[in-house]
Structure 1
């Protein structure tokens, strides 16, 4: 299979259990990966966990355990979530793997060989929660006086010996790269933020720590471990084969899409390409910063008590109903809001009442009234019109999905579903059964073709449900198929109350 395609999620920080934001990112990346596979691409899809850094050390200490024990436990929750949500990842990477240590040290040596690393003393503001350093001009005053990062997290003054990366050297090369590659950062709002940040001037970046030892050791500096973002970002090339599998690396790198949350775009669109430029490695083709998921319009936090467990939502409403809602109701790239009511309303309206009901009544009618078989009948103009409408809707879905306009893609797909429902009501095969059986057969075969096309098209979004429906349909147009009494695929949902909702 030719034409490789590499998509990654951000690797998730496992100092706590996964939340709905992690699930959203995984689901979106999975749908894109499945879509590209469906269209003949040789896809490599990577997700995983980012396990080093001071936060992990502090969380482990508070629980009376070693950082590696905490990483092993917490990473398993993220892998379990991926499996429950039907995430078709090809590699679940952990930054505590020996192979990743080797890759991180290899890129470090390449940056050192370029003359871009030097030892000095760091004094400045550091956010443990963000694992990020901030300049004074970026900070704000919190209530009661503590300084806060741009993300609203507390910062503390840090002073220690550290290796620095010559980020300032790459200000103009980055601006030149952005100009030459306008789609490198998407959506446009994120691109504009990064342009303003880089144009405002870049300062050299502290890239090692000596205050803890849970991390990748810096080559030839035994007291230093790599700053978590050097280590974390390197995961993308570790999985692609750097430096242990040059043939694989040449095949899959550069990545087509790094899919990440909008709060970490700077690390992926400034630091990461600068590291790669320094190491003389190709840059990824695109960084897409999606928005946040809000619980009934409010940002989720443990202190407020509105953090929702995605596994609970999947258990209550079904994996595919949750997947469909998140990709249909959240405009990709913008913030979105969710609630139990919204999930149920959308799933019932689109999947149960519209598409599911269309498939169920068509297949049930054939099983009951035609002994499961339908021969060719007398075609008429409305048949060709419907199939053209469905083809157009599915083509619009494909075009929008290719452009990462996921919500618009599903909106286009629903146009095809609505066309089928209008068609079946207008043609009324239950009436034709008595008045014109030959015409009835043509109507039913037209519906089978349309439903099959719609189910195939939507499969990247609702893979389990679409597969079950396709298994009840003939795989091609001939006279040999037999349809058994169908099993409903999309039961109507009832509103439940989830914890934190």
Structure 2
């Protein structure tokens, strides 16, 4: 039986159109889901949209639409983005679906029955933009005397009846959980921030609102709708069939192996969500990893500045695989990144066209010319051949560990070390010269290169699926031979190869 692996993106908030930050999270999650499938796992990959809350209600009103019509339109844009980026999700959940409402109400009842929800009145600071409550000690004061959230968002003083979740009752249990599960939150810097937040003292959390209606009604009290984060976080179990877990074949994927989130929502996932799950007697997710934000040419992305990067426009201009590659290669995953057009073009031309594209083209052209267009014989290898091959063979093992700690940039660098070593090897061995001086040796060198490029292309499939499909086909690797386990079997010598064609053309700016 295959091992299970469940990975999720956050469900994206539909008060605006998708931007490069959403694409970044989805692509990263997709790389990990694809990697696990290649590594023999039974994967469940969940994404979707978060469609309730006051912000959505206001955005719909501003466009003169009903909230449902508005969320239908924006959710379709997010689904289209996922499909165009070739995100291999298994389910796309929407929080306006009946299955999700049923799940939220069941979770609420379960927690209420356990004694962790009570009715009171909320009075305090609330940020509509962040959909988050803030304590006085977390706020900053602007030069003109206004109070703002640590994110820079405006806050307002709210007073309304509210149901509360006894978050304070979970302070010690959360600290103990963090202690026993050091890998629960990554990167380390985010874990330390959250730990100090818990240690500073947790207040009970307001989890319902009465000042608007666009939300899931609280069971037994229709005057209240659920706080948008209680609703949103529950999506991870609604998609698996909660509360009907006995009847659901998908419940075997719980607890999720990884929730991938942006750093601004780490607190909701790493404090509120585990506390809700513990209160309901459910297992807690194994790991939450939060990545950074993207700026554009050093500036924060904003509609008013007009520098919001639309992922689908990038793909139209540069191609899907180069964009996927660039986003995960450019910055350490977990830190902040800066998008610059020139950096993207440099990566395409230097690493994709020169390093990898050129290596494949030179090798396969030599094979076509000098080996009758067939996979070369293995022959007698020397120390140089074994040195390169032994490094390449280790790739899947090294990548496995890096993917499990979400070090996607490190994984790409590990692969690129082999690509650079292969380029040095072909230059040094010079098969084009060996053709005249030692044709037997030439065949061995070309076979070593074919085997190494096959390993590289197999390992790069999660990052650049389309380009690697073409490259593996040119190397004579059948579609049934592309899992990591298949690397243990050599490609038979003498197999016919198609005519080689460039995979990564150089990008030249239009005059």
Q: Deviations over 1:443-464 (max 9, x none)?
A: 1111111110100011111111
Could you tell me the TM-score, scaled by structure 1's length?
0.96
Could you tell me the TM-score, scaled by structure 2's length?
0.94
Moved more, 275-284 or 145-154: 145-154
**CA shift for structure 1 position 143:** 4.5
Aligned match of 2:473: 471
Q: 2:414 aligns with which of 412, 415, 420?
A: 412
Aligned match of 1:270: 271
What is the alpha-carbon distance in structure 1 between the residues aligned to residue 127 and residue 34 of structure 2? 37
Contact kept, 8 Å, 2:163 with 2:206, in 1: the verdict is: yes
| Distance change (3 Å), C-alpha of 1:172 and 1:496 | farther
Contact kept, 8 Å, 1:5 with 1:44, in 2: the verdict is: yes
What is the alpha-carbon distance in structure 2 between the residues aligned to residue 248 and residue 478 of structure 1? 40
**CA shift for structure 1 position 496:** 7.5
Matching of residue 491 in structure 1 with residue 485 in structure 2:
no
**CA shift for structure 1 position 14:** 1.1
Moved more, 488-497 or 276-285: 488-497
Aligned match of 2:146: 146
What is the alpha-carbon distance in structure 1 between the residues aligned to residue 76 and residue 122 of structure 2? 35
**CA shift for structure 1 position 178:** 0.8
**CA shift for structure 1 position 378:** 4.4
- Residues 190-205 of structure 1 correspond to what in structure 2 (within 5 A)? 190-205=190-205
| Distance change (3 Å), C-alpha of 1:344 and 1:169 | same
Which secondary structure does the structure 2 equivalent of 1:7 belong to? strand
Q: Deviations over 1:305-340 (max 9, x none)?
A: 221111111111111111111111110111111211
**CA shift for structure 1 position 276:** 0.7
What is the alpha-carbon distance in structure 1 between the residues aligned to residue 184 and residue 133 of structure 2? 24
How much is the aligned-residue C-alpha RMSD, in angstroms?
Answer: 1.5
| Distance change (3 Å), C-alpha of 1:410 and 1:496 | farther
Contact kept, 8 Å, 2:122 with 2:161, in 1: the verdict is: yes
Which secondary structure does the structure 2 equivalent of 1:121 belong to? strand
**CA shift for structure 1 position 465:** 0.9
| Distance change (3 Å), C-alpha of 1:374 and 1:219 | closer
Contact kept, 8 Å, 1:394 with 1:416, in 2: the verdict is: no
| Distance change (3 Å), C-alpha of 1:282 and 1:378 | closer
Contact kept, 8 Å, 2:375 with 2:492, in 1: the verdict is: no
Matching of residue 112 in structure 1 with residue 126 in structure 2:
no
Which secondary structure does the structure 2 equivalent of 1:244 belong to? coil
Moved more, 485-494 or 28-37: 485-494
Aligned match of 1:380: 382
Contact kept, 8 Å, 2:367 with 2:376, in 1: the verdict is: no
Q: Deviations over 1:233-255 (max 9, x none)?
A: 00011112211343435411111
What is the alpha-carbon distance in structure 2 between the residues aligned to residue 71 and residue 402 of structure 1? 34
| Distance change (3 Å), C-alpha of 1:169 and 1:471 | same
Contact kept, 8 Å, 2:376 with 2:446, in 1: the verdict is: no
Q: Deviations over 1:33-66 (max 9, x none)?
A: 1111111111111111000000000000000001
What is the alpha-carbon distance in structure 2 between the residues aligned to residue 98 and residue 332 of structure 1? 35
Contact kept, 8 Å, 1:11 with 1:50, in 2: the verdict is: yes
- Residues 16-165 of structure 1 correspond to what in structure 2 (within 5 A)? 16-165=16-165
What is the alpha-carbon distance in structure 2 between the residues aligned to residue 257 and residue 372 of structure 1? 44
Structure 1 unaligned segments of length 5 or more: list them.
none
What is the alpha-carbon distance in structure 2 between the residues aligned to residue 6 and residue 494 of structure 1? 41
- Residues 298-447 of structure 1 correspond to what in structure 2 (within 5 A)? 298-376=299-377, 377-447=379-449
Aligned match of 2:180: 180
**CA shift for structure 1 position 472:** 1.3
What is the alpha-carbon distance in structure 1 between the residues aligned to residue 277 and residue 499 of structure 2? 57
**CA shift for structure 1 position 486:** 1.3
Matching of residue 482 in structure 1 with residue 496 in structure 2:
yes
- Give structure 1 regions of 4+ aligned residues with deviation exceeding 4 angstroms: none
What is the alpha-carbon distance in structure 1 between the residues aligned to residue 336 and residue 203 of structure 2? 30
Contact kept, 8 Å, 2:474 with 2:500, in 1: the verdict is: yes
What is the alpha-carbon distance in structure 2 between the residues aligned to residue 374 and residue 76 of structure 1? 46
What is the alpha-carbon distance in structure 1 between the residues aligned to residue 308 and residue 258 of structure 2? 28
Contact kept, 8 Å, 2:375 with 2:476, in 1: the verdict is: no
Which secondary structure does the structure 1 equivalent of 2:394 belong to? helix
Which secondary structure does the structure 2 equivalent of 1:382 belong to? helix
Moved more, 256-265 or 235-244: 235-244
Which secondary structure does the structure 2 equivalent of 1:145 belong to? coil
Contact kept, 8 Å, 2:476 with 2:498, in 1: the verdict is: no
What is the alpha-carbon distance in structure 2 between the residues aligned to residue 350 and residue 330 of structure 1? 15
**CA shift for structure 1 position 217:** 0.9
| Distance change (3 Å), C-alpha of 1:284 and 1:496 | farther
